[in-house]
């Protein structure tokens, strides 16, 4: 059994291997220790936590035992004197974050492994501001592991003592999503829309929100399946191949896909092309800028796209870059005037909403863009390519051991690339993996995953051929280590 370690967004591990009932309770106790530290701040009425309730909300996804893990964590929290609102159903992650902000709670917990394969599960801690807890917080929690004896109370007793309360935390989130969207435009549009919830917590919510409009909406994979139909619930071109065929054969105007915990979005064009997360983020940024006429800063991770930088430069928007992990983006959103922050995986946060990814809202905003512009999505994408240039993004995930990860990073630190395919490397970034930017603006990156035994190889170039070539170059180098 491996030592418990918090990665880019909480703790994830294989169910019944490291992710056991015992370990879940140990992690819950470390989180309870941290939460009790915050009680003193509430009592002192610090500006940070003023008006916050000393209570947590707990949600869970559609994976094996997720509801049981949520119950165990609730019982540990209750035994530590922390009141808990426990979701009455499988929960989108943004529903937990929205509830924290709406009810002014001290924080929340989400049981999910997000987009990871079915054998995994995980625990995320959400801070008082409704976003992923930062590294300082997760470091404290990790330092508290095994320090305090796990306290536990039976669920029935905790409910009787009103330490645990079962509530619907999803409906209020969906209701406010509908208020954020400009429904007057969506009511008039006549789109044929396919929604793939990937057997996760996105369920039938987009279809429900659009009921009563002139749009035709069909949801597939909206019911619970802990195996996710045999694929990983990650909405990218690898896992949406069968959905893309449904789009083409059914002559849909667009398809929207949400991941396992409904905080990320994938988009498919009528011809079956699955847009990269970069392109999805670009569409959403331009919609907020050009259709909603909003302004603010833009945040990307280190593996973000140059296309966003070009748009930001044109509109004179301040840009920020972070390591991979939405907790870094959430911290900046909490402190600055941010229009949009997002990752290459299709997770995006918006001004006036949450410091949190929201796949359901992202999908509706894509539809809103189409409705407001009265244009086909493929035509909008063509216009972007014509105005800003073509940027093709590729990613490959390799099975890679911890020992090889350490050797790879050591090799790159000792001798980073200075030329690739006859092109000079004009900049190297090494604060989260290694990113090599070439003289023509193309780049590739080698980054060990913080949540899985994998190495992620990224690239971006002005043609698919070149982008694939850079990924293959990175792969051959990594396999030689």
Return per-residue pLDDT of the chain as tens, 481 residues: 567 888 767 899 999 999 999 999 999 999 999 999 988 777 776 667 777 899 999 999 999 999 999 999 999 999 999 999 999 999 999 999 999 999 999 999 999 999 999 999 999 999 999 999 988 999 999 999 999 999 999 999 999 999 999 999 999 999 999 999 999 999 999 999 999 999 999 999 999 999 999 999 999 999 999 999 999 999 999 999 999 999 999 999 999 999 999 999 999 999 999 999 999 999 999 999 999 999 999 999 999 999 999 999 999 999 999 999 899 999 899 889 999 999 998 999 999 999 999 999 999 999 999 999 999 999 999 999 999 999 999 999 999 998 999 999 999 999 999 999 999 999 999 999 999 999 999 999 999 987 678 999 999 999 999 999 999 999 999 999 8
For the 11-171 domain, the top CATH level (class) is alpha beta
In CATH terms, the superfamily for domain 181-388 is: Alpha-D-Glucose-1,6-Bisphosphate, subunit A, domain 3 (3.40.120.10)
For residue 2, the model assigns a pLDDT of: 60
For residue 47, the model assigns a pLDDT of: 66
For residue 7, the model assigns a pLDDT of: 76
What the block records as the tokens of 104 is 């002014």
Please count the residues of the chain: 481
Give 409: exposed, middle or buried? Use CB within 10 Å, 0-12, 13-18, 19+.
middle
Helical residues (DSSP H) of 301-394, grouped into ranges: 306-314, 326-335, 359-373, 377-388
For residue 481, the model assigns a pLDDT of: 86
E strand or H helix at 457: strand 454-461
Please check whether residue 300 is in contact with residue 319, taking contact to mean a CB–CB distance below 8 angstroms. Answer: yes
Strands (DSSP E) contained in 171-318 are: 192-196, 216-220, 254-258, 265-268, 297-301
288 secondary structure, DSSP code:
I
How many CB atoms are located within 10 Å of the residue 256 CB? Answer: 28
Please tell me the distance from the alpha carbon of residue 448 to that of residue 403, in angstroms, as a whole number: 11
Please check whether residue 56 is in contact with residue 109, taking contact to mean a CB–CB distance below 8 angstroms. Answer: yes
Please check whether residue 458 is in contact with residue 395, taking contact to mean a CB–CB distance below 8 angstroms. Answer: yes
All CATH 3.40.120.10 domain ranges of the chain, comma separated, are 11-171, 181-388
Q: Is this prediction's pTM over 0.85? A: yes
Please check whether residue 328 is in contact with residue 341, taking contact to mean a CB–CB distance below 8 angstroms. Answer: no
Hey, what CATH topology would domain 392-480 get?
A: TATA-Binding Protein (3.30.310)
Which residues does 49 contact at the CB level (< 8 Å), separation at least 6?
38, 41, 42, 106, 128
What the block records as the tokens of 103 is 């009810």
What the block records as the tokens of 157 is 């007793």
For residue 458, the model assigns a pLDDT of: 96
For residue 303, the model assigns a pLDDT of: 94
- Going by C-alpha positions, the residue among 168, 92, 73, 74 that lies closest to residue 354 is 92
Please tell me the distance from the alpha carbon of residue 197 to that of residue 359, in angstroms, as a whole number: 10
All CATH 3.30.310.50 domain ranges of the chain, comma separated, are 392-480
User: What Å distances lie between residue 233 and 116, 118, 120, 219, 266, CA to CA?
Assistant: 7, 8, 11, 15, 11
For residue 101, the model assigns a pLDDT of: 95
């Amino acid at each position: 059994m491996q030592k418990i370690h918090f990665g880019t967004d909480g703790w994830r591990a294989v169910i019944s291997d490291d992710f056991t009932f015992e370990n879940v309770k140990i992690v819950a106790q470390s989180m309870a220790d941290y939460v009790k530290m915050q009680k003193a701040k509430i009592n002192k009425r610090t500006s940070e936590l003023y008006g916050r309730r000393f209570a947590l909300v707990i949600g869970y996804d559609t994976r094996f035992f997720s509801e049981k893990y949520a119950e165990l964590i609730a019982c540990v929290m209750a035994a530590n004197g922390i009141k808990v609102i426990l979701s009455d159903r499988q929960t989108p992650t943004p529903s937990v974050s929205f509830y924290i902000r709406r009810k002014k709670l001290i924080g929340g917990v989400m049981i999910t492994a997000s987009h990871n394969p079915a054998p995994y599960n995980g625990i995320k801690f959400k801070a008082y501001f409704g976003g992923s807890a930062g590294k300082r917080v997760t470091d404290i929690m990790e330092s508290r592991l095994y320090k305090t004896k796990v306290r536990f109370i039976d669920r029935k007793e905790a409910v009787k003592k009103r330490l645990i309360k079962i509530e619907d935390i999803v409906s209020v989130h969906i209701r406010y999503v509908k208020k954020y969207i400009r429904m007057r435009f969506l009511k008039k549009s006549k789109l044929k829309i396919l929604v793939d919830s990937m057997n996760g917590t996105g369920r039938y919510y987009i279809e429900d929100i659009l009921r009563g409009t002139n749009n035709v909406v069909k949801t597939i994979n909206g019911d619970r399946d802990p195996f996710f139909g045999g694929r990983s619930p990650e909405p990218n071109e690898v896992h949406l191949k069968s959905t893309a065929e449904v789009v083409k054969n059914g002559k849909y105007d667009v398809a929207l896909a949400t991941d396992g915990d409904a905080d990320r979005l994938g988009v498919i064009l009528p011809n079956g092309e699955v847009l990269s997360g970069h392109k999805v983020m670009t569409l959403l940024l331009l919609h907020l800028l050009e259709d909603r006429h909003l302004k603010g800063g833009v945040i990307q991770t280190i593996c973000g796209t140059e296309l966003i930088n070009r748009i930001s430069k044109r509109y004179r928007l301040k840009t920020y870059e972070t390591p991979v992990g939405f907790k870094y983006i959430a911290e900046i959103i909490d402190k600055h005037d941010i229009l949009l922050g997002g990752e290459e995986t299709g997770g995006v946060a918006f001004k006036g909403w949450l410091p949190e990814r929201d796949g359901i809202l992202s999908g509706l905003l894509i539809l809103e863009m189409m409705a407001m512009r009265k244009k086909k999505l493929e035509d909008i994408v063509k216009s972007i390519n014509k105005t800003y240039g073509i940027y093709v993004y590729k990613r490959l995930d390799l099975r890679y051991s911890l020992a090889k990860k350490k050797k790879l990073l050591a090799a790159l630190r000792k001798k980073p690339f200075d030329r690739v395919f006859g092109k000079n490397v004009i900049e190297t970034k090494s604060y989260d993996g290694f990113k090599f930017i070439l003289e023509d603006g193309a780049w590739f990156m080698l980054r060990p995953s913080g949540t899985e035994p994998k190495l992620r190889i990224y690239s971006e170039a002005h043609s698919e051929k070149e982008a694939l070539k850079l990924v293959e170059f990175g792969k051959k180098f990594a396999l030689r280590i």
